[in-house]
Amino acid sequence: MPELNFEITGKDGLARTAKFKTPHGVIETPTILPVINPNIPTLGIGEMVSLGARAFITNSYIIRRSENLREKAEKNGVHSLIGFDGPIMTDSGTFQSHVYSDVEYTNLEIVEFQRKIGSDISTILDVFSEPDFSHEKAEYAVMETYSRMNEVPQGVEDTILAGPIQGSVYPDLRKRSAELMSSSQAGYLPIGGVVPLLENYRYDALVDIIISSKLNASFSKPIHLFGGGHPMFLSMAVLLGVDIFDSASYVKYARDGRMLFSDGSKELSRISTLPRWSPLYGKYSVKEIREMNAEERKKALSLHNLAAIFNELHEIKERIYQQTLWQYVETKARSHPYLFKAYRRILEYSEILEKYEDLSKKSTFFYFDRYSDSTPYITRLSNFSKSIGDGNPVILGDEHWHPGRPHERGLKAAYESSDRPFLLKWQNMLVPLELDETYPVEQIISAGGQVPAAENVTSLQETPLSETKLRDFDIHRVRTIADYQFGIGIGERLFPDETVVTRSRNTGRIRGIFLAGKLLATLRAHDGFFTLTVEGARRLKDACKAPKHRVMVTDDSAEFNSKGFNVFFKFIISSDESIIAGNEVLVVNSKDELIAVGKSVLSGTEIKYFRSGVGVKVHKGILQGEEKEPGPD
C-alpha cells in the first residue's frame, strides 16, 4: 500500500479540509467522486471537471464482466478507459453481489483486477448490510468483511485499499468494524450500507452510524460515505467528520426529471426559473428544458445536479475555513423536518463532540433558541459553570452588565467588597462574571433566552458589602479564565496573589499578566483566552503533572522547536489526550523538559493518529529570548 499522506489544512470540530495523496494526484477534501458508468456515459469528463470534479469512482465489476471494457482497461488502464489522468477509485461489485446473491469473481480476484487496471483506491468485496438486518446477520457482514481484508496480501504498493465499515444500524457493530478496519492495511475507510437510509430520509439513523464509525476509526484515514451525495445532507455529514462522498444521484434524479438544490430536490415540472449558479442559467429557459427529448433533458439536468452538489461543497469548505459550519447546519436543519430530527439527534452527542471543538472560533457564536443550549460550546461552558458551584450567588442582569462594555454602576467595587460568586444571566444559564469577555459569552449574537429562576440568590442591590476590599477582581478574573482554559485549580497556581495585571490604554481590557517583572501571559482581545509566554508555560508545567497539556517530541525535533520552529506530527512521541484544539500546549523533550510553547492544531485524541503536517504552531521557543508585553493597541 502506498505511504498514507492525509494532511489536515483546516478544521471546524470534526469537520476538516485536507489533502489526500494518491498515486495519480492529490484529492482535496471534502469532495465528492462522481460515479462514472463506463457503459452509459452521461456527461463528459471535461464538463464534470469544469464544475469541480477532481476525482471519480467507477465500478470494477462492471468493467471486468464486459469483454470490451475489460480488454481496454487491462491494456491501457482504467484512467485511459475513463479519459481522466487524475485519481480514480473503483468499487468492487458489492452492491451487485448483494442484489443478485453472488458475483462470479472472488474477493482476491476483484482486488487483483483493480490493481491490474491501475485503480488509485481499490475496494475489497465487502458484505453489504441492510438497515433491517438482525444483529447476528449484521455481525456476520462485519466479520466476513474484515476477513476478506485480511485475505489481501500485505505490502500492496500500487493502490490504496478501501476497507468498508459495515454493521447496519447497530452502533456497537459500527464501532467494532471501524476499529478492525483501522487496524488493518486499509488506508481508506468508506461507510457502507447506508443508501437505503438515505433514500428513505432516515438521517437520524445516519447520524448514529457516522458518529459510531468516525469516532472509532483512525483519524488519519479518509472517511467516505458510500452513496451519500445529496446536497441536502452533505453539510451535516461533513460536520460529523465525513471527508469524501460518491454519488450517481446527479444522473438518477435527472433521469426522473428532478433537479437538486441545497435543501432538497424539485420536479422540473414545478420549476419556474433557474438559479443563477446553475450552468443552465442563461443558456436555456425552463420551457426549453421541458421540451427537450429525454436524452438531452437528462444530460442538461445532470449538469445542473452535479453543479448543485459542488456548489454546496464549496459553501461547506468556506464554512470550515470561517469556522461557521455548525451554525450553517443548525440553520439548514430547519429546511426539512427529517434534517431537523437528525440535528436534534446530533445534539444528544454534544458531550462527546465537545472535545473535538477548538478552544474558540474565528466567528461570532450564533444563539438561536433552546436547541442552541445543547451545542458543544454551550455544553462546555455550562459544565464549567456548574463545576465551580454557586455558593449563594449574586445574580446580575442586563441592568448591571452589557457584553463588550466596561463595567458600569460600581460593579467592580461591589464585587471586591463581597465574597460571593457573581453570576451573569446569559441565555438560558448562569455563568461566572469573570468570563464576561471570554468566548462565547461576549462573542455572541443572540435571539435571546430565558434564564430559569435560581434559589438562594441575591440581587446586586441586596448584596451586603464590606467596607474593606475582600478580593481583587482582576486577579479573580485571570484565575477563572485559566481554570476554564486549563482546568479547575490551575488559575491560583498559575497566578499567585503577587501577580500584576496591566490593561490596554485604549480599550481598558486586561492585556498582560506579570509576576516579579516577568510576563506570564497576554489576554487575547478576540476571544478572551491566554497566550502563554515561556515563563508562563514553565508555571503551567509546574502546576500540572505530566502528561497534562504536554506534547512530547523527539530530542532531534526539540532542538529546532526550542528555536521557535513548529512541531510536525511525525516527531511527536506522545501527547495529552485531553488537549483541546487551539489551546496552549507545552512542548517538551523526552525528559519532560520544556522546549517551547504553542497552539495545538488538533485535539489530543486526534494528534496520535497523524504523521504528516504541523501538529503544534509554536509561538515561542526557550532559546528565543525574553518576551515583552505588546505595545499599546
Q: Which residues are tagged catalytic?
A: 91
Nearest-angstrom CA–CA distance, 69 and 59 = 11
Start-end of H helices in 510-597: 534-543, 555-561
Residue 30, preceding bond cis, omega within 30 degrees? yes
Cα of 137 vs its chain's centroid, Å: 32
490: β partners: none
Residues contacting residue 284 through CB under 8 Å, at least 6 positions apart? 274, 300
Using alpha carbons only, what angle is made at residue 564 by residues 562 and 567, rounded to the nearest 5 degrees? 80
What are residue 629's phi and psi, to 5 degrees? -65, 140
Residue found under cell 449574537: 445
What are residue 595's phi and psi, to 5 degrees? -115, -40
Task: For residue 628, give the amino acid letter.
Answer: K
SS3 assignment for 354-392: HHHCCCCCCCCEEECCHHHHHCHHHHHHHHHHHHCCCCC
Residues contacting residue 139 through CB under 8 Å, at least 6 positions apart? 167, 170, 173
What are residue 272's phi and psi, to 5 degrees? -105, -35
Nearest-angstrom CA–CA distance, 408 and 106 = 76
SS3 assignment for 130-147: CCCCCHHHHHHHHHHHHH
Nearest-angstrom CA–CA distance, 615 and 626 = 25
Residue 34, preceding bond cis, omega within 30 degrees? no
Orientation of helix 107-116 relative to helix 135-151, angle to 10°: 50
Please provide the distance, in angstroms rounded to a whole number, between the alpha carbons at the two ends of the chain.
Answer: 53
Residues contacting residue 362 through CB under 8 Å, at least 6 positions apart? 322, 323
